[in-house]
Amino acid sequence: MTVLDTSVPHVPVLMVLGHHEPVGEVELPAGYRFAAWEPRFREPWVRLHVLLGQLPSCEEGLAYFERTYEADPAALERQMILVVDEKNELVGTSSLWRGDHFGEPRLRVHWVGVSPDHQRRGLARSLVLESIRLYDELVPTGEPPLYLTTQTESWVACGMYLKLGFVPYEGPMPPNFAADPATFGEKNREAWELIRRKLSESSRSRP
């Protein structure tokens, strides 16, 4: 996504996918295509997320990728979502990956990111739509909904997620969420008030 807005306080939040219409074939702008996972994308994936400020360094990013994604090669091949440009270079990523924030393994949208040179072209939206489409394909109806974790600094991305059918999680603190149970409810409400206010201000400032 875009660089984080560090002018706002950091508060992690969750979103869950609400009722949504089935996602058909996801279109990309001219010059881009979805690509199947290949090992050659490993280092470009890490470099992209370091560039976006989502990983501290390439060394730590490679270690993270190895212990997370490469620990399950079958899921990596099936659930990594990549967009490449006309030069066949990686410009955007998403994935469906296990998370245990709710106390049991379930899939979440993970590591959405688009190269700064390729932002504002609808690629992030297409990556998230493809994540939803793949989730509906892989997970039987009636299972717990797809979810994602994000933070107040990503309020722009939150606006996109809201438009695509995700809703703020405003229930009790999930058992494995990194927060203080005594203050989770209050801080979560304040975080969503902040996100909605930033989105409203941004909308009013547009010509």
Mean pLDDT within 37-42: 98
Q: What is the C-alpha separation between 17 and 146, in angstroms, rounded?
A: 5
* Mean pLDDT estimate for the chain: 94
Q: What is the pLDDT of residues 44-56, one digit of tens each?
A: 999 999 999 889 9
pLDDT surpassing 90 at residue 9: yes
Sequence ranges of the domains in the chain: 12-205
Q: Give 80-128 pLDDT, tens digit per residue.
A: 999 999 999 999 999 999 999 999 999 999 999 999 999 999 999 999 9
Count how many residues are written for the chain: 207
Burial class (CB in 10 A: 0-12, 13-18, 19+), 73: exposed
13: pLDDT strictly greater than 90: yes
Helix (H, G, I), strand (E, B) or coil at 65: helix
Q: How far is CA 189 from the centre of its chain?
A: 21
pLDDT for the residue 1: 52
pTM of the model: 0.93
CATH 3.40.920.10 fits 12-205, yes or no: no
Q: Dmax over Cα atoms in the chain, in whole Å?
A: 51
Quickly list DSSP for 107-151.
Answer: EEEEEEEE-GGG-SSSHHHHHHHHHHHHHHHHS-TTSPPPEEEEE
What are the Cα distances from residue 155, in Å, to 106, 140, 159, 192? Answer: 24, 31, 6, 9
